[in-house]
Chains A and B, each alone.
Chain A
Amino acid sequence: MRNTFVIFKKEAGSYFNSAVAYFNIIAYLAVSAWLFFWLGFFFERKQTEMTYFFSLMPWLFLFFIPAMTMRLWAEEKKMGTVEILMTLPIRSHEVVLGKFLASFLVLVLMIILSFPLPLALNSLGNPDNGQIFTSYLGLILVGAAYIAIGLCASTFTSDQVIAFVVGIIASFAMLVIGFVPWLRDFGLSYHFNSITRGVVDSRDLIYYFSVIGFFLYLSVLSVESKRWR
């Protein structure tokens, strides 16, 4: 636990020391605000209607999240820093979890900072705040799942561009199998849509936690496999 926190602090530090975190947050806020108003005016939808807006967010995250997670392992391998890291008395799952949490922090900040949008809605009319809240929760869960997938992709390569592309493809695949009728229970989009309707079903939560857990576990295996005989 302590080690996880040490890694988390270090990784969060390097996100905020470099432009990565700020760029991600600002770009996300700009694009989402633009989408929000464009959708509102262009389609002349009711201003208090956010469902359509939320349904687009997982697609936006497809680019923002892998861009953030691609460096997590690939950079360590490229720079060679992985050699000291792997010879410190720290377990692979602690490192993986610490890195995951650091990206998760950036994600949560991204989402929290987009709060002016629902505030604007509330000043214009009477939106369903319960539904907005669960939609935000859904966004956090989808984002966290993407982080786990992107982190896992990053463990397979020392090339950040490859990690980025593989992260997008894998996240995309996990998203769209939700549209295939007989596979939809395994898809991110199916459970996301179910949460954005305003009810948080424990099945959806369990699904997201399993996806996150699965990809983090896969990342640990991938990292540890370098030490297998």
Chain B
Amino acid sequence: MIEVSNLTKRYGATIAVDNVSFSTNSGEIVGFIGPNGAGKSTTMRIITCYLPADGGTATVDGFDVFEESIEVRKRIGYLPESTALYTDMGVIDYLKFVAQVRGLSGQDLRHRVTEMIDICGLEKMVHKDVGELSKGYRQRVGLAQALIHDPPVLILDEPTSGLDPYQIIEIRNLIKEFGKEKTIIFSTHILSQVAITCDRVLIISNGKLVANGTPDELQQRTQDRQYLEVAFQGDHTEIETKLDQLSFIQDFKQIQSLDQTAAAYEVVSEKGHQTCEELSRMAYENQWPLVSLQPKAVDLEDIFLQLTQSETQLEGVSS
């Protein structure tokens, strides 16, 4: 449905999108994640024909975003990151306006507007101006606007930012529901949401695509590693010095522990190595009572950090 190849976009000296290629099938929900400034919004803006690319191509349903922009725009529903709507318009008037530009009229238009108000839970807000709505409701109007013409492709830039937990779950269910027949690309910083909702995950970092696969495929990438959570009763610096010396430990970072006095760490080590035994031996030899030691399931967050942490913005998060 969406084909992106060698997409590049520069802003002066910064390369916002660097040679990105991917494609999506119809009916696929794609989660687009990456640190701040990674290039998610820029990529989406190119696909939605808001910005021109400096290099590479993108097509939607076979139409080139640059050459056949109108055809592409007809097929896309887009919720921009800013969710900037006309604040001086009433909610209904705004949806009618978008529907009219989308080519709807008469009975059809009224029907779709009512349906969107229902789906996006806007009943209580219909008599208000868009400018009077809270951030979350504005977000819902933005979503209604993107869905109103029943597009085959939905591009949602951080659709859940600013929403309360109930609304986040609601939007997640909406995305899952619509994803049955639509192609959806959405960006988010809530990684747990991606793991639940997406058929596929794209991870972008510093403009480059660093991962593209199903959540399962991404977990495979970390199969040569194992993750443990360990907590000792002891001096932080001494423990960290010791952990540094152990060669089979690839990485570790301090984490919060239930027991405030304990020094807790998440430890990444080579797969197959007897890390548990080694750590308990270390605790014994140094007389650091072991408070807890347990394997940790690899989640998207670990993969995300692993793939993006070589980049400068995450310095300091890991050891």
- Interface residues in chain A, defined as those with a beta carbon under 8 Å from any beta carbon in chain B: 2-3, 6-7, 10, 13-14, 17-18, 79-81, 83-84, 86-91, 226-229
Asked whether A81 lies within 8 Å of B66 as measured between CB atoms, the reply is: no
> Complex Cα distance A79/B53, Å?
23
A6 and B84 form a contact (CB under 8 A): no
Fill in one digit per residue for B44-87: 1 if any A CB lies within 8 Å of its CB, else 0. Answer: 01001111111000000000001001100110101010101111
Is B48 in contact with A3, judged by CB distance below 8 angstroms? no
Q: Whole-angstrom distance between the alpha carbons of A159 and B75 in the complex?
A: 32
CB pair A89–B97 under 8 Å, yes or no, is no
Point out the residue from A6, A10, A84, A227 that lies within 8 Å of B145, measured CB to CB. Answer: A84
Contact of A227 with B82 at beta-carbon distance under 8 Å, contacts A17-B88, A89-B102, A90-B101 already known: no
Q: Determine the chain A residues whose CB is within 8 A of the CB of B51 once the complex forms.
A: 226-227
29 pairs, CB–CB < 8 Å, chain A vs chain B: A2-B100, A6-B100, A7-B101, A10-B86, A10-B89, A10-B97, A13-B93, A14-B86, A14-B89, A18-B88, A79-B87, A80-B82, A80-B84, A81-B85, A83-B82, A84-B84, A84-B98, A84-B145, A87-B48, A88-B101, A89-B73, A89-B102, A89-B103, A226-B51, A226-B52, A227-B49, A227-B51, A229-B52, A229-B54
Among A6, A17, A79, A80, contact of B101 (Cβ-Cβ < 8 Å): A6
Contact B52–A81 (Cβ < 8 Å): no
Is B86 a contact partner of A81 (Cβ separation < 8 A)? yes
Shortest Cβ distance from B105 into A: residue: A2
Q: A27–B86 Cα gap in the complex (Å)?
A: 26
User: Which residues in window 138-166 of B have CB below 8 A to A?
Assistant: 145
**CB contact between B66 and one of A84, A86, A87, A229 (< 8 Å): that residue:** A229
B interface residues with partner A (beta carbon < 8 Å): 45, 48-54, 66, 69-70, 73-74, 76, 78, 80, 82, 84-89, 93, 97-98, 100-103, 145
**Contact between B74 and A89, CB atoms less than 8 A apart:** yes
Residues of B within 8 A of A89 (CB): 70, 73-74, 101-103
- Across the interface, which residues of B come within 8 angstroms of A81, CB to CB? 84-86
Distance between Cα atoms of A227 and B70 in the complex (Å): 12
Minimum distance in angstroms from A65 CB to a CB of chain B: 21
> In the bound complex, do residue B101 and residue A227 qualify as a contact, i.e. CB atoms below 8 Å apart?
no
* Chain A nearest Cβ from B132, distance in angstroms: 13
Q: How far is the CB of A22 from chain B (nearest CB, A)?
A: 14
Is the Cβ of A87 less than 8 Å from the Cβ of B50?
Answer: yes
A10 to B101, CA, bound (A): 11
- What separation, in Å, do the CA atoms of A90 and B71 have in the docked complex? 10
- Complex Cα distance, B94 from A14, in Å, reads 11
Q: How far is the CA of A89 from the CA of B63 in the complex (A)?
A: 14
Neighbour of A3 across the interface among B69, B76, B101, B145, CB < 8 A: B101
Question: Max chain A CB contacts within 10 Å: which of B45, B69, B86?
Answer: B86
A2→B101 CA distance, assembly (Å):
8
